[in-house]
Amino acid sequence: MSFDAFLQNRVLWSGLAAWFLAQALKIPLDYFRSREWNWASFFAAGGMPSSHSALITGTVLAIGLHYGFDNPVFALGVAIAMIVVYDATGVRRQAGMQAQKINVLVAELLKGHPISQQELREVIGHTPLEALGGVLLGLAVAQGLWLLWH
């Protein structure tokens, strides 16, 4: 396989475009919430929309559009997408909520002490709405690119 073939992989580009757009959208959406520009949110996990959900959904839909929805790879992609979205809204979200509570406990324990503790990352998962936003974005990007290419 040549590098040129790699660059022409439309399934890959659909997923990556969905991921990039999701990450880029976090900046203005975060601004509307906080009224502060946070350019680092492009590189952050968590937030609206879920870039993990957008990436996997865009990739899986592109597989179906380009190779057929009866393709076993599409079926495998759907299964993986279900795991990714479940993980983003379940396990990773719970880990973020636990980090938030641990940070409060550490702050209370160390109040008034000169000890500095690095806080745990609190926003590592997604709400169901954030995951849905990523899924819809992934679907739109893959469909849009497929229409553009055909």
Whether 127 shows a pLDDT value over 90: the answer reads no
Domains of the chain, residue spans: 3-90+125-149
Between CA 44 and CA 36 the distance in angstroms is: 16
Whether 29 shows a pLDDT value over 60: the answer reads yes
Query: DSSP letter at 1?
Result: -
Whether 119 shows a pLDDT value over 70: the answer reads no
pLDDT band at 5 (very low <50, low <70, confident <90, very high): confident
Whether 88 shows a pLDDT value over 90: the answer reads no
Q: What is the DSSP string of 20-72?
A: HHHHHHHHHHHHHHHSS--GGGGG-SSSSS-HHHHHHHHHHHHHHHHH-TT-H
pLDDT computed for residue 97 by the predictor: 66
Between CA 71 and CA 62 the distance in angstroms is: 12
Between CA 144 and CA 140 the distance in angstroms is: 6
